Amino acid sequence: MNRRTVFAALAFTLLAFKPDAPRSEKTGQDHPYVKPRYTPVALGAIQPQGWLKDQLETMLAGTTGHLDEVYWKVKNDNGWLGGKGDAWEETPYWLDGAVPLAWQLNNAALKQKVMKYINWVLDNQRPSGYFGGITGAEREGKKVDVQHPENGDDWWPKMVMLKVLQQYYSATGDQRVITLMERYFDYQRATLQKVNLGKWTEWAVSRGHDNAMMALWLYGINGDSSLLELADMIQKQGYQWSDLLSNRDWVIGAAAQQNFDHWLNRHGVNVGMALKAPAVDYQRTGDAAYLKGLKTGFRDLMTLHGLPMGIFSADEDLHGNHPTQGVELCATVETMYSLEKIIEITGDHEYMDALERMTFNALPPQTTDDFNNKQYFQIANQVQISRGVFDFSLPFGREMNNVLGMRSGYTCCLANMHQGWTKYVQSLWYHTASGGLAALVYGPNTLKTKVNGQEVSIRENTSYPFQDEINFEFSTNKAVSFPLELRIPSWCKEAKVLINGVEVQAAKGGSLITLSQSWKNKDKVTLKIPMHLSTSNWGRNSRTVERGPLVYALKLEERWEKGNQKEEGDYFSVFPKSDWNYGLLENIVKNPEQNLLVKTKPLQSKFVWNLQNAPVEITAKGKKIPSWKVLEGVARQPVTDREGLYKGEVEQREETLTLVPFGFTKVRIVAFPVVK
């Protein structure tokens, strides 16, 4: 038995007794590998509750649970089941969200469905270590081996399938996953000089850090230093994203150029995926300069291309910060995943705030209530959803990128959108290096895990992000001592922490607090994080109303129209029933607390992200701007000058406006001009 197999067997043995305990990590003595700051709990240890459970159950009933039945590319003769159909990215994309959903909801039918693909992949690895769909060369009787790696196929989709297998291993401890990865990474190390990352597509070059990340994950289990060598090799062959993100010329150039020159370096999904590259490079090398470069790159990206809902423009290229630019759904879910990995590796508070803002604002409105239709591109100030070219850098001749349809735009998002909510749920809890637990982002759920060898259950009872109180209720057979880490969001001025009703600590926003004590059955920790009203500044000096992690948009009643396009099928257009061309009064910007009124109501019993379910409304005053009109489907932003005011014609009559959280809207204004 070789050294890697011994380590892997030991890890699996430990896992069998402690399914979601942090796994031991053996670092090489001659390599500066850095262990991640936090360790995810096992998949399935977190069960969503409340509105999050409603969201995941909607996904289960919709395309996440049934994509293989309704989408021909996954349904017909699938290559990941040995057929001649899709053996590229879309099936692994779907599984990357369907696998966690199956265990988070403990749904036997979905588990059975995804296991068909997982078992085929695990059972059909080639003797050489290569895995994946049967290649054209193999169908001609040729072998994919170290001597003939050219008979293989694109590295990129295997990177996604590795993520699928890693999640499955987290849920089950199935040793076959470790065996497949060890053999595959040996194969890669032996062949990458012959058939490098760019042999088949440039996508593998631009996304190679996902491959390196999985090699580092396996190193954390088996301690095999050859995996560190492989990660170094992959990094050298891939795009040098860490250099780009730390170099301001890149992000400035991306704002200025919309041509084919280096376009994959500006491709919004690539950028979203690449945000984790400096964190992976830091984990690989221990060089803290990578984290400094990441912070520079992320802040520059959001300054030059950021939109109010917490994501950058990506339609498909990075495209500046005007509120009329689009965002691809894939860019949102991939950026969320990058932030989740950055948090895991670094523990940096800034990325926790960014993850919540993106999740609660950018993600929800880009799909329909039943999770069966999606927008390829959504727009911040989106006053209509319809066919057209808009201001996108990739408009498509069929003009279908903005509508809500199952197959509208590229279908990558139809397959990839499922990882957004499921991986956010998986990020609600972590094990800490000190042997405790950490809640770094929030949502209703129940955690069942082991701490110091003892079973502990914590129910996170909350309506967050719509209300400002989070309760953690403990269930345990006997007292157990461990530290509990909680994040205080940066937008919170001062939080209060109570244990069993007694205030024990106050903490400023932008901090992590640690509660260390012996926890008993029925203990209760209450986190109060008051949400204050504010406004923030965005493209063309526009203003957005904020409260806590949510941004607020003008509530516009909707008129839906169904249509059909020959190549892309059924779709929906959405139009407003009322006027939208308003500016916010200047006094709201000067003193939002005094000039905005908040009204809340309980969440509906069956939660859906739509206008009828919006649990918070904000009343504001505004005035109409007559010249602000739709042109080519776009409400191009009026210029607010450096004094903070729109100087064009404004109607004198004040009107009462109702704002709701961005995530509940389909048509809206979120970035407002300011008027007197």
Nearest-angstrom CA–CA distance, 378 and 372: 16
15: pLDDT strictly greater than 60: no
The DSSP annotation for 479-544 comes to -EEEEEEEEE-TT-SEEEEEETTEEEEEEESSEEEEEEEEE-TT-EEEEE----EEEEEEGGGEEE
Q: Could you list the residue range(s) of the whole structural domain that residue 574 is in?
A: 533-675
What is the spatial distance between Cα 407 and Cα 565, in angstroms, rounded to a whole number? 10
- Tens digits of residue pLDDT in 405-463: 999 999 999 999 999 999 999 999 999 999 999 999 999 999 999 999 999 999 999 99
| Among 354, 374, 406, residue at a domain's last position | 354
Q: Is residue 12 predicted with pLDDT exceeding 70?
A: no
* Mean pLDDT of the 469-495 span: 98
Token pair 């402690």 is at which residue?
A: 18
Question: Is the predicted pLDDT of residue 389 greater than 70, yes or no?
Answer: yes
Model confidence at 11, pLDDT cuts 50, 70, 90, reads very low
Mean pLDDT, residues 221-229: 97
Q: Band of the pLDDT at 17, cuts 50, 70, 90?
A: very low
Give me the pLDDT at residue 174, please. 98
Asked whether residue 385 is domain-assigned, the answer is no
* pLDDT of res. 262: 81
Structure tokens at 611: 């206008």
pTM: 0.95
Measured N-to-C along each axis, helices 226-237 and 277-285 cross at an angle, to the nearest 10 degrees, of 140
Alpha helices in 173-247 (DSSP H): 175-191, 202-206, 208-222, 226-237, 241-246
- Amino acid (1-letter code) at residue 135: T
Residue 485: closest CA among 442, 527, 418, 440: 440
In this predicted structure, what is the pLDDT of residue 260?
78
Q: Is residue 150 part of a domain?
A: no
| Average pLDDT score over residue span 658-666 | 98
pLDDT digits (tens, 9 = 90+) for 100-143: 999 999 999 999 999 999 999 999 999 999 999 999 999 999 99
pLDDT tens per residue, range 238-294: 999 999 999 988 888 887 877 878 888 899 999 999 999 999 999 999 999 999 999
> Is 509 part of any domain?
no
pLDDT class for 147, splitting at 50, 70, 90?
very high
607 part of a folded domain = yes
- Over range 69-88, report the average pLDDT: 97
Confidence at 148, pLDDT banded by 50, 70, 90: very high
Q: Are 641 and 513 in contact (CB under 8 A)?
A: no
Residue 612, classified by CB atoms within 10 Å of its CB into exposed (0-12), middle (13-18) or buried (19+), is exposed
Handedness of CA 251, 253, 259, 261 (dihedral sign): negative
Label residues 32-46 b or e (16+ Cβ within 10 Å = b). Answer: ebbebbbbbbbbbbb
**What is the rounded distance in angstroms from the CA atom of residue 511 to the CA atom of residue 61?**
39
494 and 507 Cβ atoms separated by less than 8 Å: yes
Using the predicted structure, report yes or no on whether residue 16 has a pLDDT greater than 60.
no
Asked if pLDDT for residue 616 goes beyond 50, the answer is yes
Among 354, 374, 393, residue at a domain's last position? 354
The residues, any chain, with a CB within 8 Å of residue 609's CB and separated by 6 or more, are 55, 364, 365, 369, 663, 664
pLDDT of residue 30: 57
Instruction: Give DSSP secondary structure letters for 251-295.
Output: HHHHHH--SSTTGGGTBHHHHHHHTTHHHHHHHHH--THHHHHHH
pLDDT band at 25 (very low <50, low <70, confident <90, very high): very low
Q: For 299-351, how does the pLDDT look when each residue is reduced to its tens digit (9 = 90+)?
A: 999 999 999 999 999 999 999 999 999 999 999 999 999 999 999 999 999 99
Spatial distance between the Cα atoms of 507 and 519, rounded to a whole number of angstroms: 21
Mean per-residue pLDDT, 24-38: 68
Q: Taking 90 as the threshold, does the pLDDT of residue 34 lie above it? A: yes
Going 548 to 551 to 555 to 557, the CA torsion angle's sign is negative
361 Cβ contact list (under 8 Å, min separation 6): 308, 309, 310, 549, 550, 551, 661, 662, 663
Q: Is residue 312 part of a domain?
A: yes
Q: Is 162 helix (H, G, I), strand (E, B) or coil?
A: helix
Give the pLDDT confidence of 363-375 residue by residue, as tens digits.
999 999 999 999 9
Which of 666, 409, 669, 408 minimizes the C-alpha distance to 560?
666
Which of 311, 334, 354 is at the close of a domain?
A: 354
Using alpha carbons only, give the angle 466, 468, 472 rounded to the nearest 5 degrees.
110
Total count of domains within the chain: 2
CA 390/CA 399 separation, integer angstroms: 9
Helices 50-61, 419-426: axis angle to 10 degrees equals 140
What is the rounded average pLDDT for all residues in the chain? 94
Looking only at the bridges linking them, the beta strands covering 326-328 and 377-379 are antiparallel
Cα separation, 178 vs 238, whole angstroms: 24
For residue 457, tell me if it sits in a domain: no
Torsion angle of C-alpha atoms 66, 70, 76, 79, degrees rounded to 10: -40
In a domain, 383, yes or no: no
Indicate the SS3 state at residue 432.
Answer: strand
Q: Are 631 and 502 in contact (CB under 8 A)?
A: no
> What does the pLDDT average to over 566-588?
97
Residue 545 lies inside a defined structural domain of this protein: yes
* Residue-level length of the chain: 676
